[in-house]
């Protein structure tokens, strides 16, 4: 998408301070440059969505080509799952690329309603996102601080099933392994955008994309100019076959949503969203966006009680199901690394539910088995490797 750098207003001295947030989403900034998938969702005839944008380099303006490959397509809500999960994974002092949690915990933390349909929706979204390959010929890498030609994936999923070839088991822990390169890009300073996930969820899919684009640009400017044709097609994902006047109407609906929530505001003397459009020539319009009161709220302390509560940890519920009491869980969290705890949750969960060949049973209890493995920092047992290899062969 082409930002109108020469038209944008004077840069603000300080980045705005986010209001207190109950739930935080985190998005990768370079990926926000273009729509991830057409707004209509679903499969495309060629399984690849191509779009582009321009950026400024030492050589001047350059074009970046973006290709998103997704054999099963994507749905509008998939971006909510992607950025919400990223927020959950990075919301720790020492973030890890492995998210081990029950689907109930994920749905609860994302603010989704609980029910059988939601579990199916979450599984479907995770599996679609896991198959995505994202390519960008001008991706800004915040680690190397230069533009690069990259191809990356978001994450891999490991979802236990009920028996061979059965349905996904929603009572057990699900494992999401973030791609280490993507995760590093999202951790780097200048590589991520933190935003209000609850507000994001209230918006329609197109307004969500516009909200994130404007939040990124309002870090630097109080007034932002965007070309309507480029914004609606490349930035928001409207169909290029849809006439400009209809896309302009759709954009106006997004603008009304953002105005209602004070994300943007009308300019001085303006009374209607239509006045935010400037005509530059025949069939050429620019939309002007003014920073709204939402971004000027005084800083308030974020909700810390829930984040600091032991029960809010994604590993709490799996440990409880294994039989570890709250005092024991607190001690494990205090004395041992999360990586070690996650490893033995996986081992114990497999032993409890999959009857692996070579496992002779629990001498005392699943909880005692797990605690012994963690306290003595034991490696994974031989039967686990044989079991996982056998499962891979069966699949």
Q: CA-CA distance, 289 to 300, in Å (whole number)?
A: 25
Cα atoms in the 13 Å half-sphere on the side-chain side of 359: 24
By the 8 A CB rule, do 189 and 204 touch?
no
- Each of the 395 residues of the chain gets a pLDDT tens digit; together they read 555 544 554 444 433 345 456 788 999 999 999 999 999 999 999 999 999 999 988 888 999 999 999 999 999 999 999 999 999 999 877 889 999 999 999 999 999 888 778 999 999 999 999 999 999 999 999 999 999 999 999 999 999 988 666 688 989 999 999 999 999 999 998 899 999 999 999 999 999 999 999 999 998 899 999 999 999 999 999 999 999 999 999 999 999 999 999 999 999 999 999 999 999 988 899 999 999 999 887 655 344 444 456 788 899 999 999 999 999 999 999 999 999 999 999 999 999 998 889 999 999 999 999 999 999 999 889 999 888 877 766 65
For the whole prediction, is pTM greater than 0.95? no
Instruction: Please give, one letter per residue, the 3-state secondary structure of the chain.
Output: CCECCCCCCCECCCCCCCCCCCCEEEEECHHHHCCCCCCCCECCCCCEEEEEEEEEECCEEEEEEEEEECCCCECCCHHHHHHHHHHHHHCCCCCCCEEEECHHHHHHHCCCCCCHHHHHHHHHHHHHHHCCEEEEEEEEECCCCEEEEEEECCEEEECCECCCCCCECCCCCEEEEECHHHHHHHHCCCCEEEEEHHHHHHCCHHHHHHHHHHHHHHCCECEEEEEHHHHHHHHCCCCCCCCHHHHHHHHHHHHHHHHHCCCEECCCCCCCHHHHEEEEECCEEEEEEEECHHHHCCCCCCCCHHHHCHHHCCCHHHHHHHCCCHHHHHHHHHHCCHHHHHHHHHHHHHHHHCCCCCCCCCCCCHHHHHHHHHHCCCCCCHHHHHHHHHHHHHC
DSSP helix/strand/coil, 73: coil
Question: Closest Cα to residue 315, out of 170, 161, 159, 175?
Answer: 175
Q: CA-CA distance, 92 to 76, in Å (whole number)?
A: 28
Q: CA-CA distance, 328 to 372, in Å (whole number)?
A: 12
Phi-psi label, residue 193: left if phi above 0, alpha if psi -120 to 50, beta otherwise = beta
């Amino acid at each position: 998408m082409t930002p109108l750098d020469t038209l944008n207003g004077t840069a603000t001295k300080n980045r705005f301070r986010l209001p207190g947030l109950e739930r935080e989403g985190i998005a990768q900034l370079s990926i926000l440059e273009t729509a991830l998938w057409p707004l209509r969702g679903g499969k495309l005839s060629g399984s690849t969505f191509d779009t582009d944008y321009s950026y400024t380099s030492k050589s001047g303006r350059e074009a970046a080509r973006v290709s998103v490959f997704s054999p099963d397509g994507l749905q509008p809500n998939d971006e909510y799952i992607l950025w919400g999960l990223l927020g959950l994974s990075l919301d720790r002092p020492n973030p890890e690329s492995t998210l081990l949690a029950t689907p109930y915990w994920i749905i609860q933390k994302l603010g989704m309603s609980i029910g059988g349909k939601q579990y199916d929706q979450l599984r479907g979204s995770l599996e679609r996102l896991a198959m995505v390959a994202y390519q960008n010929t001008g991706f800004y890498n915040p680690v190397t601080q230069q533009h690069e030609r990259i191809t990356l994936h978001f994450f891999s999923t490991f979802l236990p099933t009920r028996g061979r070839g059965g349905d996904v088991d929603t009572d057990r822990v699900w494992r999401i392994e973030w791609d280490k390169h993507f995760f590093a890009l999202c951790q780097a300073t200048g590589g991520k955008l933190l935003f209000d996930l609850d507000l994001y969820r209230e918006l329609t899919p197109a307004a969500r994309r516009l909200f994130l684009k404007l939040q990124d640009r309002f870090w630097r400017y109080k007034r932002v100019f965007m070309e309507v044709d480029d914004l609606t097609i490349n930035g928001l994902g409207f169909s290029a076959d849809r006439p400009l006047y209809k896309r302009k109407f759709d954009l106006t609906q997004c603008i009304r949503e953002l105005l209602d929530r004070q994300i943007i505001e009308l300019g001085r003397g303006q009374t209607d969203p239509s006045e935010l459009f400037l005509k530059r020539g025949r069939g050429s319009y620019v939309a002007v966006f003014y920073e709204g009161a939402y971004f000027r709220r005084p800083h308030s302390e974020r909700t810390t009680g829930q984040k600091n509560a032991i029960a809010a940890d994604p590993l709490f519920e799996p440990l409880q199901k294994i039989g570890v009491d709250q005092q024991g869980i607190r001690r494990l969290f205090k004395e041992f690394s999360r990586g070690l705890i996650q490893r033995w949750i996986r081992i114990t969960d497999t032993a409890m539910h999959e009857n692996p060949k070579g496992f002779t049973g629990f001498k005392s209890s699943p909880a005692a088995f797990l605690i012994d493995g963690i306290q003595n920092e034991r490696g994974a047992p031989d039967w686990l490797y044989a079991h996982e290899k056998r499962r891979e062969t069966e699949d």
